[in-house]
Each structure stands twice: as structure tokens, then as C-alpha cells.
Amino acid sequence: MENTKLKKIADNADMIVNGYAFTQNNENYRVLNLNKPEHALVIDSNGNVLETSMDDIEIQIVKDYFLKNKKYMETSHA
């Protein structure tokens, strides 16, 4: 993947944690490993895996990051 494309993904991400770009997409979240862009994941708001190209260990790491930090991605309705 081109560096300009990765930069655009990172710039548009709602949150980046340890090299993983998290972007909310309707009710789901897309996650891209910016260091290995062939590793991607789509999860729902509860952390259930919908699609992935990651191995089980990486999935668990990303899910932990997501569940610990998803409150920072939620939009305020105030």
C-alpha cells in the first residue's frame, strides 16, 4: 500500500493505538495495522469479529485495544 494512502487512512482515523488505525463505519469499526496494511479487521461495537485478515493473537490484541479505548471514539450527543 502506498505511503500516501496510509497517511490518508491515518489522518481520517477516529483513533490510533499502537499503530492500529480505528475508524467507525456506521455500526461497525474498521481497524488497519498501519505497519502491516495487509492486516485488517472489521468488528462490531461489542468487539465481535465480522471480517479479518489477522491471526488469532493479533485479533485479541486489537480487541483489547478497542474495548479499553472505544469510549474515546463515541460521539457526544450533548
pLDDT tens series, the chain, 78 aa: 788 999 999 999 999 999 999 999 888 999 999 999 999 999 999 999 999 999 999 999 999 999 999 888 866 434
Helix (H) / strand (E) containing 63: helix 56-69
What is the model's pLDDT at position 2? Answer: 85
Distance of alpha carbon 45 from alpha carbon 67, whole angstroms: 9
Q: Reduce the DSSP state of residue 45 to 3 states and report it.
A: coil
**What's this model's pTM, rounded to 2 decimal places?**
0.88
49-52 β-sheet, strand order: 15-17, 20-25, 28-33, 40-44, 49-52
List the beta bridge partners of residue 31.
22, 41
